[in-house]
Chain A
Amino acid sequence: MKRLFLLLLVVAVTIELQAQNLGGGQVTGNFQIDAQLSRQDSSIGAEDVPQKLLSNVFANLLYTNGGFSAGIRFESYLDPLLGFNSQYKGAGIANKFMSYQGDMFEITAGNFYEQYGSGLIFRSYEDRNLGLDNAMMGVNVKIRPMDGIIIKTMVGKQRYYWDYGKGLVRGIDGEFSLNSIIKKFEESKTRVTLGAGFVSKYEEDQTILAPTDGFKLNLPLNVGAGSFRMDLAHGNWGLQAEYAIKSQDPNVLNNYIYKGGNALFVSASYSQKGLGINLQAKRIDNMGFKSERSLAGEMLYINYIPAMSKQHTYALMALYPAITQVNGEMGIQADVTYSIKKGTLLGGKYGTTLKMNYSQIMSIDKQPLEGSTTIGEMGTNGYTSNFFKVGDELYYQDFNVEISKKLSKKSKLALTYAYIAFNPIMENEHGDIHYNNVVVADYTYKMNSKNVLRGELQWLKSNIEYFDEDKRSGDWLMALVEWNFTSAFFLSVSDQYNYNGSKEHYYNVSVGYTHNTTRLQIGYGKQRKGLLCIGGVCREVPASNGLMISLTSSF
């Protein structure tokens, strides 16, 4: 099968190479090479790397000709970088597809990425930094019977390292833009888009023993999830909502309970020039949906539930990130962007931008079943939950303000303050809630049209005394200086100092060179052990001390 695919691709590409002179088709691609040399450093807990050199390589090749396209992706992990699952070890063609698009339809065979709505019931995606790829292997069809209607349907299995998960995933989704469908509304200022999707997973039966002696679980082999969504826009106003439900799905995430799941996501926004406001609310109850019921960890998720909080990029602000609790959480978020006009008192000569963000994530209400005292007992309905009642445990809270201002033609300053409360239960650890105050100053100075200096000062003050296991608690200071020579070259030096805690310095020096789309970056320094989180999904990264080389390019 693999060989056949490659052969076809080679044929297609060969034809293309000859055809290129005749003006048919194009080949593009990109690659990324990450290499790491790390040595033992007991002070930060970095383990010895007997292989010395570790590397991850990705190479994509894409061929398009009119409506036809095909691609392959080569990946090698020899051996995987620290923090990547050792099951990635190996090299080969990880991804391959062919696709044809006509006027009203599009069909893709092979690997594909797709999502229905916001992903509450289905999202197959890739995040290389997290070592996460749940690409589907199968067939995906999109049909546009008329303007304003898109029907998608797919079937396949999910990638699991170099293999595929056991579960078969099937789905259908429809999206209807009423303004295009109904003539009367064509010119309406109000734009309405409705959508609905359904995804079903089939997995073979297996023996999972129940706590009652001699009994096992009667497992549903087909598990379904459906969702309805709408997107309203009227001038400056916007409202988006999605509600999803999931059928009985006893799995390792929910301790094999038979309760169904549901999720609600609502977002409202108002914006005009210089002012943007966004309010969000969500409630998740037992929505862990995987294509293998007994597999823990981050792989083989069918759906995607992002964390409802701002994704911080400053290192110390991202020290305690929010992690999605698929078994239950309720959250709200408010986000305001405000530009103060030039020439006003606060705006000054160049104007000022103000950003405010608040988020709070709580547990949901969970009550034991009648006649029981425990919550979430295996082989039962688990618990009951009052939809509107907020649970009494705080998971995460974040209030942050950012003021950015151009001070002169040459300099810019951004000041950020954040108050972050973090419950270690999100990482399955028990302990007191961490309350952190973080301040960041980010200053940019343009020396001339070619040389730009940038500096960051960050300070994190925590209420939790340092304890050795996590290498994270306690108070931190960080400084960073970066020199850019045009956008072609940069040099940056930084140090993160756990001054009230391990007393450890995590220094780093990196240089980078970019030419068009080719970028080479070399860094040397120490990396703290911890979680790398993107979008509420996290990967554990062990400590390292050494060299990191990264080369990316696209053509």
Chain B
Amino acid sequence: MKKLLVSALALFLSIGVFAQEAKKSVLPDNISVKTLDGKTVQTSAFNNDGKPYILSFWATWCKPCLRELNTIKEVYEEWQEETGVKIIAVSIDDARGASRVKPLVNGSGWEYEVYIDQNQDLKRAMNVVNVPHTFIINGNGEIVWQHTSFVEGSEEELIELVKKVMNGEDISESK
């Protein structure tokens, strides 16, 4: 049994290395999430007309998440005009917070596309451990960048990266 474990772990780590070198991961397209109106949609519906978009995992109880989404709110209009980028915010709230998501989103004046991932299927499929966890997805549905944690100011890095993606630059090695 122990041997088995060791080999499994070794396999695991080696795959980790492989995966880093492998081609870009794509967004899982067959996970069900709910809209704020209770409608179930598949993640295959996530898109921004061929332009890149930002996918951000958050929760009503997560202070840095709220700070991130509130900070971006200030500049979102500007971003959209400049780059056409879109933000999809996925809440991982369970039954305790899920019904507060819609009032919070509207009350905070967020203009994002918001979904609720109550069973955390998408969170698991995208290997999200902690929130906030932010992804940049390019026009082909590929994950080109991801990052956990937020602090004021990192929204500027984020939009710079989005602009690079729009220009077709490879940002996988930059931060």
Please say whether chains A and B are actual partners in one complex. Answer: yes
Residues of A within 8 A of B (CB): 3, 6, 10, 13, 17, 20, 23, 26-30, 32, 59-62, 64, 67, 69, 72, 74, 91-93, 101, 106, 113-115, 118-120, 123, 125, 150, 175, 177, 179, 191, 193, 231, 233, 236, 238, 240, 265, 267, 269-278, 280, 304, 306-308, 311, 313, 335-339, 350, 353, 355, 404, 406, 412, 444, 446, 449-450, 452, 484, 486-488, 490, 512, 514-517, 519, 535-536, 552, 554-555
Are A276 and B16 neighbours in the complex by a CB distance under 8 Å? no
Are A452 and B152 neighbours in the complex by a CB distance under 8 Å? yes
Residues of chain A within 8 A of B22, CB atoms compared: 20, 26-27
Residues of chain B within 8 A of A512, CB atoms compared: 149
Residues of chain B within 8 A of A91, CB atoms compared: 5
Are A93 and B8 neighbours in the complex by a CB distance under 8 Å? yes
If A304-B94, A335-B100, A444-B152 touch, does A114 touch B107 (CB 8 Å cutoff)?
no
Are A119 and B107 neighbours in the complex by a CB distance under 8 Å? no
Are A74 and B5 neighbours in the complex by a CB distance under 8 Å? yes
Are A552 and B103 neighbours in the complex by a CB distance under 8 Å? no
Residues of chain B within 8 A of A304, CB atoms compared: 94-95
CA distance A552 to B36 in the complex (A): 31
Are A276 and B104 neighbours in the complex by a CB distance under 8 Å? yes
Task: Give the residues from 59 to 108 in chain B that come closer than 8 angstroms, CB to CB, to chain A.
Answer: 60-63, 67, 70, 74, 94-100, 102-108
A27-B18, A28-B19, A91-B5 given; name 13 further pairs at CB < 8 Å.
A3-B4, A30-B128, A32-B129, A61-B12, A67-B30, A74-B5, A106-B30, A175-B40, A274-B107, A450-B153, A486-B151, A487-B157, A514-B148
Q: B24 to nearest A CB, angstroms?
A: 9
Residues of chain A within 8 A of B25, CB atoms compared: 26, 28
CA distance A461 to B36 in the complex (A): 39
Q: B22 to nearest A CB, angstroms?
A: 5
Q: B120 to nearest A CB, angstroms?
A: 7
Are B15 and A535 neighbours in the complex by a CB distance under 8 Å? no
Residues of chain A within 8 A of B150, CB atoms compared: 487
CB nearest to A336 among chain B residues: B107
Residues of chain B within 8 A of A353, CB atoms compared: 70, 108
Residue of B37, B94, B107 touching A306 (CB-CB under 8 A): B94
Are B127 and A30 neighbours in the complex by a CB distance under 8 Å? yes
Are A17 and B5 neighbours in the complex by a CB distance under 8 Å? no
Residues of chain B within 8 A of A446, CB atoms compared: 152-153
If A269-B102, A486-B157 touch, does A119 touch B94 (CB 8 Å cutoff)?
yes
Interface string of B145-161 (1 = CB under 8 A from A): 11111111110110000
Are B38 and A191 neighbours in the complex by a CB distance under 8 Å? yes
Residue of A26, A101, A275, A488 touching B26 (CB-CB under 8 A): A26
CB nearest to A119 among chain B residues: B95
Are A150 and B40 neighbours in the complex by a CB distance under 8 Å? yes
Residues of chain A within 8 A of B100, CB atoms compared: 269, 278, 335
Q: Could you pull out 23 A-B pairs where Cβ atoms are within 8 angstroms?
A: A6-B8, A13-B11, A26-B23, A29-B127, A61-B15, A113-B120, A125-B94, A236-B106, A238-B102, A240-B38, A269-B99, A275-B107, A276-B103, A306-B94, A306-B96, A355-B107, A406-B74, A444-B67, A446-B152, A449-B156, A484-B153, A487-B153, A552-B130
Q: A481 to nearest B CB, angstroms?
A: 14
Interface string of B32-49 (1 = CB under 8 A from A): 100011111000000000
If A113-B120, A554-B129 touch, does A514 touch B4 (CB 8 Å cutoff)?
no
Are B149 and A519 neighbours in the complex by a CB distance under 8 Å? yes
Q: A289 to nearest B CB, angstroms?
A: 15
Q: A357 to nearest B CB, angstroms?
A: 9
CA distance A355 to B104 in the complex (A): 9
Interface string of B97-141 (1 = CB under 8 A from A): 111101111111100000000111100111111100100000000
Q: B118 to nearest A CB, angstroms?
A: 7
Are A60 and B97 neighbours in the complex by a CB distance under 8 Å? no
Q: A6 to nearest B CB, angstroms?
A: 6
CB nearest to B133 among chain A residues: A517
Q: B91 to nearest A CB, angstroms?
A: 13
If A276-B107, A304-B95 touch, does A72 touch B8 (CB 8 Å cutoff)?
yes
Are A272 and B106 neighbours in the complex by a CB distance under 8 Å? yes
CA distance A32 to B148 in the complex (A): 13
CA distance A20 to B18 in the complex (A): 10
Residue of B94, B119, B125 touching A62 (CB-CB under 8 A): B125
Are A335 and B16 neighbours in the complex by a CB distance under 8 Å? no
If A231-B38, A276-B105 touch, does A449 touch B8 (CB 8 Å cutoff)?
no
Are B103 and A313 neighbours in the complex by a CB distance under 8 Å? no
Residues of chain B within 8 A of A238, CB atoms compared: 36-38, 99, 102
Q: A123 to nearest B CB, angstroms?
A: 8
Q: B3 to nearest A CB, angstroms?
A: 11
CB nearest to B16 among chain A residues: A555
Are A535 and B1 neighbours in the complex by a CB distance under 8 Å? no
Residues of chain B within 8 A of A72, CB atoms compared: 8
Q: B55 to nearest A CB, angstroms?
A: 13
Of all A-B residue pairs in the complex, the 9 with the closest CB atoms, nearest first, are A337-B107, A276-B107, A276-B103, A306-B96, A271-B106, A231-B38, A554-B127, A118-B95, A267-B99
Residue of B26, B60, B147 touching A514 (CB-CB under 8 A): B147
Residues of chain B within 8 A of A191, CB atoms compared: 37-39
Residues of chain B within 8 A of A278, CB atoms compared: 99-100, 102-103
Are B12 and A74 neighbours in the complex by a CB distance under 8 Å? yes
Are A487 and B28 neighbours in the complex by a CB distance under 8 Å? no
CB nearest to A341 among chain B residues: B109
CB nearest to A487 among chain B residues: B154
Are B61 and A125 neighbours in the complex by a CB distance under 8 Å? no
Q: B129 to nearest A CB, angstroms?
A: 5
Q: B147 to nearest A CB, angstroms?
A: 6
Interface centre among A238, A307, A515 (most CB of B within 10 A): A238
CA distance A236 to B102 in the complex (A): 9
Residues of chain B within 8 A of A269, CB atoms compared: 99-100, 102-103
